[in-house]
A and B are shown apart, each in its own frame.
Chain A
Amino acid sequence: MANEVFLKLEGIKKSFGGVHALRGVDLEIRKGEIHCLAGENGCGKSTLIKAISGVHDVDEGKIWIEGEQVEHLHPIDAINRGVQVIYQDFAIFPNLTVAENIALNGEVKDRTKLVSWKRIHQVAEAAMEQVGARMDPDMLLEQLPVAGKQMVAICRAIINDAKLLILDEPTTALTEPEVERLFQVIRSLKDKGIAIMIVNHKLDEIYKIADRLTILRNGSFVSTGLISEYDTQRFTRDLTGHEFESKKYVPENAGEEIFRVEHLTLPGKFEDVSFAINKGDVLGITGLLGSGRGELGEALFGVTPAQSGKIFLNGEEIRIKSIDDALNNRIGYVPEDRLTQGLFMDRSIEDNTVVSSIRNYFHGLKLNESEMEEATNRWIGELSIAAPSPKPPVRTLSGGNAQKVVIAKWLNTEPRLFILNGPTVGVDIGAKAEIHAILRGLAAQGIGIIIISDDLPELFTNCNKIVVMRQGKVGVITDNSVDNIEL
């Protein structure tokens, strides 16, 4: 039963005007499996889902549901055959209650004329029971957080005898505990024999939840297989079509010490933290949320300075009691939430690039515009920021390119130490690899690099030293020859 095929697609093609969204996709979903569909933004995942749910009529290709070939699938046919989709916007009613949102589709399907609020509540309670979600049935949906809206959408989907539940990027707007909660629900639905297809491109999440994986690129089918057949390297290669160096980072030739902290302490946050960075080192700091990893980074940049301990830069002791101290010592910091803290989204790439080094561009009272533009163009080239010119606002860039602008801003200040907190959160896998390569290059030039992250694979490949924080103290300091560490 576990290997019975529920849905089979062959050579699916779909164009919109001149855009070939799908160029021949094969897919096979088995009963009771959790199947992950991965691919970079715009590669056609959502379009494929709409082909399965009958929203789009495909141009070419064949679809079988439970062994029966279907042609010109209509949304209502798909639903009647047990295909339920939870779209990125959930398609819920913000102005109606939880109970009504769950029960409405069924009422429409049954062509009910009069509404029985009692029945609506019963249906909703039963669905919430089955999914294991607890919500106030009389709450308006607009009052629920995203995760709650998603649960309502799931409850609604499964009451209509779902056999295949498709979720389009269900984790993008969720916090980590919410993702856990969602995965629990998904696993319990799988145990009930429902096939699940999830669109996701975060490998760590895919490992946690999926049985099998299908990868699309540019509208084309690339590969499919058991999750165990994919390691990071193959996943990245299939996803992006590029071979990325995932060799573990080892400095070419270790040099003299650049940066050292001794017994750094901020009571209640971290204590007695000591480590050193030599020329060529990329140092990783990791730990669970609340282990003090973030606070340590902020202390080194003077946001919330440490109370005691010593800090040495290039052999000289320095004091960092404020952000100004850090800037004067040429320390750069990319905050975790770059969108609100690191960038002026509506200003141009150029404005963002020069904002921290604006002093260098004053000639008397006049700003030297051409120098600013030249510098920005240079970074656009060096960091390969995908932008036609220095002028478009940062808001128009993708996550990875926006992150590169933050990096450009700091590189333009010629930092001696560069601290990055979660530098690749929300960044496409291709851009992620590029950012890693940039950081390695900087380290080789003698800039001290600190990456604060909870993405362990990221640290293992890119940092030659890793500081593991546990409850405010340095748990261990290790090199990257390990493959896993306890946090």
Chain B
Amino acid sequence: MKKGKRNSMLTSTQMILLYVIIVFCIIVGLRQPAFFSVATVINIARAAIFSACFALCEMIVIISGGIDVSFPAIGCVAMYVPMYLIDKGMGSQSAWFCFGVAILIGLGFGLFNSILIAVLDIPPLIATLATSSIASGGAVTIFGSHDYTSLPEGLQKIYNTNLITYVDPNTGFSYVLNILVLVPIIASIIVAFLLKRTMLGRGLYAIGGAKHAARVAGLNVRGLQFFAYIFSGAFTGLTAMIYTTLMKSARISALMGDEMIIIAACVIGGVRITGGHGTVSGTLLGVLLITLVQNSLNMLGIPTSWQRFVVGIIILLGTILTSWQTKRSLKAEKA
């Protein structure tokens, strides 16, 4: 029995993902020894900041038995509107203002999603598709589509604050990791605690696993669904502002199309698309794998035109792997 447990630890989704990531790194490293460097670590970490945050949002929603394809649109509106307001002289230059407005916008759309899903009982995919269209279509109509590339003072200050600065002794290039990298780290810890240690988190798993049973048990199913979408919306707003800060850009379509890759990262990380299963560690590893693949294919000499294709294959393999894991875990029943 002890042995069985250890065994299942070694073949858990997280461990298998870790093996895949290590093998992938070795392959890239063999072709490009420069891959094994502090610079790579910093690059990947920087690239994974928003993906990790978005994936945490998506994971919570999927665990609760839903799906959210509206976060890119919500994020776009959340990053665009504060810049628009500042541009039109209606806002302050402070980071508080930018982040505050972004979070409020995200929260508002999250509330909208949860009303559609929890109150009107619209299937989550349809509801969030609708929200996505409404958000991006409405924003373009009302605010136009400008490309904001300069940051307000407050955000510029954050942009200049680095946690780590590393100068490559060989090339003399310097690599910096922004202080905002702490956001996904702290968020991961909070979300992990929430999911594992609070009744709120357990309730999310419960409604995602068996909504009817949750109702019978006396859980507030509607309330939990509200939490999932509102939390996800607000955190999406926050993440969108991080994006603007780090990329020095706010466009009304900046994030559009990101939902698939984020959902894929979750699923590869062991979040079951049907709800009720998923962990923070798995999701972060899924994000890491996808980020690695996206960012090191040119190191392997794979032309850009092929990259989407390769990413697609990796997603497919990762999904097959996790669904195979699921089947195996169900088969254990027979034993």
* A143 and B330 within 8 A (CB): yes
Minimum distance in angstroms from B16 CB to a CB of chain A:
18
Interface residues of B in 215-234 (CB under 8 A from A): 216-219
Question: Which residues on the A side are within 8 Å of B329 (C-beta)?
Answer: 140, 142-143
Question: Which residues on the B side are within 8 Å of A173 (C-beta)?
Answer: none
Question: Which residues on the A side are within 8 Å of B200 (C-beta)?
Answer: 113
Taking CB as reference atom, which chain B residue is nearest A146?
B333
CA distance A361 to B1 in the complex (A): 60
CA distance A112 to B196 in the complex (A): 14
Q: With contacts A95-B276, A140-B329, A143-B333 known, is A104 near B209, CB below 8 A?
A: no
Taking CB as reference atom, which chain B residue is nearest A139?
B332
* A108 and B217 within 8 A (CB): yes
CA distance A486 to B198 in the complex (A): 58
Instruction: Digitize A83-119: 1 where CB-to-B-CB distance is under 8 Å, 0 elsewhere.
Output: 0000101111111100010001101110011110000
* B206 and A145 within 8 A (CB): no
Interface centre among A89, A95, A108, A114 (most CB of B within 10 A): A95
Tell me if B213 is interfacial: C-beta within 8 Å of chain A: yes
Which of B198, B208, B212, B219 touches A115 (beta carbons < 8 Å)? B198
Minimum distance in angstroms from A46 CB to a CB of chain B:
14
Question: Which residues on the B side are within 8 Å of A104 (C-beta)?
Answer: 202, 206, 217
Tell me if A477 is interfacial: C-beta within 8 Å of chain B: no
* B333 and A115 within 8 A (CB): no
Minimum distance in angstroms from A134 CB to a CB of chain B:
12
Which of A91, A114, A142 touches B197 (beta carbons < 8 Å)? A114
Which of A75, A94, A109, A144 touches B216 (beta carbons < 8 Å)? A75
Tell me if A386 is interfacial: C-beta within 8 Å of chain B: no
Interface residues of B in 285-335 (CB under 8 A from A): 329-330, 332-333
Minimum distance in angstroms from A154 CB to a CB of chain B:
15
Q: With contacts A93-B276, A143-B329 known, is A107 near B199, CB below 8 A?
A: yes
Interface residues of B in 264-294 (CB under 8 A from A): 272, 275-277
CA distance A76 to B215 in the complex (A): 11
Question: Which residues on the B side are within 8 Å of A115 (C-beta)?
Answer: 196-199, 201-202
CA distance A483 to B157 in the complex (A): 94
Which of A89, A92, A96, A108 touches B199 (beta carbons < 8 Å)? A108
Instruction: Digitize A151-189: 1 where CB-to-B-CB distance is under 8 Å, 0 elsewhere.
Output: 000000000000000000000000000000000000000
Tell me if B210 is interfacial: C-beta within 8 Å of chain A: yes
CA distance A412 to B272 in the complex (A): 50
Minimum distance in angstroms from A198 CB to a CB of chain B:
19
Tell me if B109 is interfacial: C-beta within 8 Å of chain A: no
* A145 and B333 within 8 A (CB): yes
* A113 and B199 within 8 A (CB): yes
Q: With contacts A100-B202, A108-B199, A143-B330 known, is A91 near B208, CB below 8 A?
A: no
Tell me if B80 is interfacial: C-beta within 8 Å of chain A: no
Question: Which residues on the A side are within 8 Å of B332 (C-beta)?
Answer: 143
CA distance A113 to B206 in the complex (A): 15
Q: With contacts A115-B197, A143-B329, A143-B332 known, is A96 near B218, CB below 8 A?
A: no
Tell me if B99 is interfacial: C-beta within 8 Å of chain A: no
Minimum distance in angstroms from A72 CB to a CB of chain B:
18
Chain B interface residue bracket vs A: 20 to 34
CA distance A92 to B216 in the complex (A): 9
What is the interface size of chain A, counting residues whose CB is below 8 A from a CB of the partner? 28
Which of B198, B208, B218 touches A105 (beta carbons < 8 Å)? B218
Taking CB as reference atom, which chain B residue is nearest A104?
B217
* A93 and B206 within 8 A (CB): yes
Taking CB as reference atom, which chain A residue is nearest B218?
A108
* B219 and A108 within 8 A (CB): yes
Taking CB as reference atom, which chain B residue is nearest A115?
B197
Which of B1, B199, B205, B210 touches A91 (beta carbons < 8 Å)? B210
Question: Which residues on the A side are within 8 Å of B219 (C-beta)?
Answer: 108
Taking CB as reference atom, which chain A residue is nearest B1?
A136
CA distance A437 to B333 in the complex (A): 42
Taking CB as reference atom, which chain A residue is nearest B331?
A143
CA distance A104 to B205 in the complex (A): 12
CA distance A93 to B199 in the complex (A): 15
Interface centre among B206, B212, B216, B275 (most CB of A within 10 A): B216
CA distance A115 to B216 in the complex (A): 20
CA distance A92 to B276 in the complex (A): 13
Question: Which residues on the A side are within 8 Å of B212 (C-beta)?
Answer: 89, 91
* A93 and B197 within 8 A (CB): no
Minimum distance in angstroms from B334 CB to a CB of chain A:
8
CA distance A252 to B103 in the complex (A): 88
* A114 and B333 within 8 A (CB): no
Question: Which residues on the B side are within 8 Å of A145 (C-beta)?
Answer: 333
* A93 and B216 within 8 A (CB): no
Q: With contacts A108-B218, A140-B329, A145-B333 known, is A93 near B213, CB below 8 A?
A: yes
Taking CB as reference atom, which chain B residue is nearest A120?
B202
Q: With contacts A94-B209, A96-B205 known, is A113 near B330, CB below 8 A?
A: no
Taking CB as reference atom, which chain B residue is nearest A136?
B1
Minimum distance in angstroms from A399 CB to a CB of chain B:
25
Q: With contacts A91-B210, A107-B199 known, is A144 near B333, CB below 8 A?
A: yes
Q: With contacts A105-B218, A145-B333 known, is A92 near B213, CB below 8 A?
A: yes
CA distance A113 to B214 in the complex (A): 16
Q: With contacts A96-B206, A104-B206 known, is A91 near B217, CB below 8 A?
A: yes
* A91 and B216 within 8 A (CB): yes
Taking CB as reference atom, which chain B residue is nearest A138?
B5
* B216 and A114 within 8 A (CB): no
CA distance A143 to B327 in the complex (A): 10
Taking CB as reference atom, which chain A residue is nearest B201?
A115
* A114 and B199 within 8 A (CB): yes
Minimum distance in angstroms from A98 CB to a CB of chain B:
13
CA distance A107 to B333 in the complex (A): 27
Pairs A–B under 8 Å by Cβ, sample size 30: A75-B218, A87-B216, A91-B210, A91-B212, A91-B213, A91-B216, A93-B205, A93-B213, A93-B214, A95-B205, A95-B209, A95-B210, A95-B275, A95-B276, A96-B205, A96-B276, A104-B202, A104-B206, A105-B217, A105-B218, A108-B203, A108-B217, A114-B199, A115-B196, A115-B197, A115-B198, A115-B199, A140-B329, A143-B332, A143-B333
Among all A-B residue pairs, the 10 with the closest Cβ atoms: A95-B209, A95-B276, A91-B213, A93-B209, A91-B216, A143-B333, A105-B217, A108-B218, A93-B210, A143-B332
Residues of A within 8 A of B (CB): 75-76, 79, 87, 89-96, 100, 104-105, 107-109, 112-115, 136, 140, 142-145
Residues of B within 8 A of A (CB): 1, 196-203, 205-206, 208-210, 212-214, 216-219, 272, 275-277, 329-330, 332-333
Extra A-B contacts (14), CB below 8 Å, given A91-B217, A113-B198: A87-B216, A91-B213, A93-B276, A94-B210, A95-B275, A95-B277, A104-B217, A105-B218, A112-B199, A136-B1, A140-B329, A142-B330, A143-B330, A143-B332
